[in-house]
């Protein structure tokens, strides 16, 4: 599922793949949001933008980015 979909329920998710153009995907990797990263859903900023936590970092991700991250729940 995508992170956008996962955000509806909330929780912690692990990135398994990035479904976007190679350039954008590389930037996400460089930011530490690549496969293997564990993302916790925090607050909503409206219109699909979310605040998420990756370790101690906080990121704001818009809807497009949330849609491009393929994730699985972390049990």
Please give the residue ranges that form the binding site for other proteins (CB under 8 A).
20, 22-34, 36, 42-47, 49, 51, 53, 55-62, 64-65, 68
In the DSSP assignment, the letter for residue 2 is B
Which of these, 65, 46, 53, lies nearest to 10 by C-alpha position?
Answer: 53
Structure tokens that stand for 30 in this block: 């460089």
**Smallest gap, in angstroms, from Cβ of residue 37 to other proteins?**
9
In the DSSP assignment, the letter for residue 20 is S
**Cα–Cα distance list, 39 to 32, 55 (Å):** 10, 8
Which lies closer to other proteins via its Cβ, residue 2 or residue 49?
49
**Smallest gap, in angstroms, from Cβ of residue 1 to other proteins?**
19
Which lies closer to other proteins via its Cβ, residue 1 or residue 40?
40
**Smallest gap, in angstroms, from Cβ of residue 73 to other proteins?**
18
């Amino acid at each position: 599922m995508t992170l956008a979909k996962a955000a509806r329920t909330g929780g912690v998710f692990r990135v398994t793949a990035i479904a976007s153009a190679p350039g954008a995907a590389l930037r996400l990797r460089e930011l530490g949001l690549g496969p293997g990263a564990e993302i916790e859903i925090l607050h909503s900023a409206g219109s699909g933008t979310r605040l998420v936590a990756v370790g101690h970092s906080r990121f704001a991700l818009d809807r497009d980015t949330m849609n491009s991250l393929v994730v699985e729940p972390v049990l």
